[in-house]
Amino acid sequence: MKRTYSLTALIVAIAMPLPAVAATINAVMYKNPQCSCCESYANYLEHNGFKVDIKPVNNLSQISSDAGVPADLEGCHTLMVDGYVVDGLVPVDIVKKLLTERPAITGITLAGMPTGAPGMGGEKAGPFIVYAFTKDGKAPTVYATD
């Protein structure tokens, strides 16, 4: 009887689902070779479940434009992740929101290099406005604030 119980316990243990383990999110970052905040941002992403392949380029503006990022909303790097474009120093919770919700957009952007953003030094002076954009050039809309 004890042997049957042990075998049953083993079968139940094997059949029970294991806790979900978060998969690594792969991303490719295109950045200006002289920009060090981009590397800090990549480090920030890696501490939050991403694996970032950094590609220094001398034509970042062209890459951003080709990806559909509006010129007036460009950030300091362009990140390609799971079919989306993430431009600039967008907080990781907003990037993960994008990847979870999967809206019908091309990507999101936090324009410029705002003080206090992930990868930048200093204290945050106000809310960050993250815009959604589409490849067809429709006016960007606010995706999230942080």
Compute, in degrees rounded to 10, the torsion defined by CA atoms 10, 13, 15, 17.
-170
For 71, phi then psi, to 5°, come to -55, -40
Which of these, 57, 139, 42, 136, lies nearest to 95 by C-alpha position? 42
- pTM as predicted: 0.83
For 101, phi then psi, to 5°, come to -75, -35
Question: Domains plus CATH for the chain?
Answer: 22-145 (3.40.30.10)
What are the pLDDT tens digits along the chain (146 aa)?
A: 444 444 444 344 444 444 444 689 999 999 999 988 999 999 999 999 999 999 999 999 999 999 999 999 999 999 999 999 999 999 999 999 999 999 999 999 999 999 999 999 899 989 999 999 998 877 899 999 98
